[in-house]
Structure 1
Amino acid sequence: MQQWDSSARFCDPAAFVVDIEVTIALMADYQIRKATERGEFDDLPGSGEPLELSDHYDPDWWFKSLVKREKLALLPLSVELRREDAQLEVALDRLLDEQAVRHEVEGFNQRVIRARYEPPEGPPLLTMPRDVDATVAAWASRRAERIQKAKSEARERAEQAQREVRPSWFRRWFTRG
């Protein structure tokens, strides 16, 4: 066994196996650092602007392209439920019978209750489940008002059309003279 001299070198460069790719990367990194220190990368065109990178290497590229193509908005569940609550009456007004309205309100209530048991992922959930019977009663009264309004508008249109009807050819012929 050899004894180490204090004058001997501790590392022999020939003892390391160096990969050529690693060597090239280290040399390139060294050259880039030196050029940066000299200021050769200052004031390049496009400096400070975002890069347009392709999504080729992104594992979620298909999902991101779907969201962009379909113009989807991914909101936290609490915000989505608030938005759905605000638009629920308009959605219910499109339904034709009480059973469909009841089913829609019960589905909304189930989503709200399920969201209360999940850990929050965004703003706090302020939306409360709706009273099914009260919501159905409000829907029925709005529907009755819409039907009454449509009947009165139809009646007014019919009266207007009657006023604008010209006399028949028979009446016109006999009123001439």
Structure 2
Amino acid sequence: MTSPELPARFYNPYAFEFDTETVIALLADRHIRQAIERGEFDDLPGSGRPLDLPAQHDPDWWLKGLIKREGLALLPASIQLRKDDAALDDLLDRLPHEDAVRREVRQFNERVVRARYLPPAGPPLITMPRDVDATVTAWTARREARAEEARRQSSEHTSGTLPPQRRRRRPARWRRRG
């Protein structure tokens, strides 16, 4: 089968050598194409739904895995500072003393001021720095209120206003034999 426009010396049917794997792949491809033409793959379960491929096929699989594993959120500075501002009181309530509270509020204020000097990336920055003394005063009031609540619950428990708890008896099989 030589082409009429090419001389016979340019076509050599023995010039191509196929290894076994290539031949098998070509035959498999041919059989699959014939099955598609016959319509044998038309009514398979799950047709039309996306494939659930492993993450290794994604070029960013490592970065996405790190973000998911570490629970990181990549948000614009304005949104991240809003979230941090909303959660700051709960964070401060877990701190043991006033110096740690002051240090945490100062660090928050530094991040807010630093974000004001950056070019905006996302929504506008509406978070304002906090007044350190006012925040410490509010922290002290919350701490005293929690301590008072704990004292009140402790006094209710010891004064007998709560019903006495019944002691459970062990079943006979658990009792010690002496």
- TM-score above 0.5, yes or no: yes
Identical positions, percent: 52
* Equivalent position amino acid for 1:88 in 2: L
d(CA) in 2 for partners of 1:58, 1:76: 24
Matched, 1:121 2:121: yes
- Counterpart amino acid of residue 89 in structure 1: D
Matched, 1:137 2:137: yes
- Please state if 1:150 is matched with 2:150: yes
Offset of residue 56 of structure 1: 3.7
Where does residue 65 of structure 2 map in the other structure? 65
Secondary structure in 2 matching 1:121 = coil
Q: Is the 8 A contact 2:93 2:139 kept in 1?
A: yes
CA distance in 1, matches of 2:119, 2:43: 47
RMSD, matched Cα: 3.2
TM-score, length of structure 2 as denominator length: 0.60
Match of 1:96? Answer: 96
1:96 match: secondary structure: coil
Give CA deviations for 1:107-152 in whole Å, capped at 9, x if unaligned. Answer: 1001111111112221111100000010001111111111111112
Which residue is equivalent to 2:176?
none
Deviations 1:43-88 (A, max 9, x none): 78634x4454554464432111122334433222211110110111
Q: Which amino acid aligns with 1:136?
A: V
TM-score (norm 1): 0.60
> Are residues 1:87 and 2:87 paired?
yes
Secondary structure at the aligned position of 2:160 is classed as: helix
Specify whether residues 51 and 91 from structure 1 end up closer, same or farther in structure 2 by C-alpha distance, changes over 3 A only: same
For residues 122 and 162 of structure 2, the distance between their equivalents in structure 1, rounded to whole angstroms, comes to: 60
Structure 2 equivalent of residue 106 of structure 1: 106
Q: Please list the CA deviations of residues 3-27 of structure 1 after superposition, one character each: whole Å capped at 9, or x if unmatched.
A: xxxxxxxxxx9xxxxxxxxxxxxxx
Counterpart secondary structure, 1:101: helix
Q: Which amino acid aligns with 2:67?
A: V
Question: Max radius of gyration: which structure?
Answer: 1
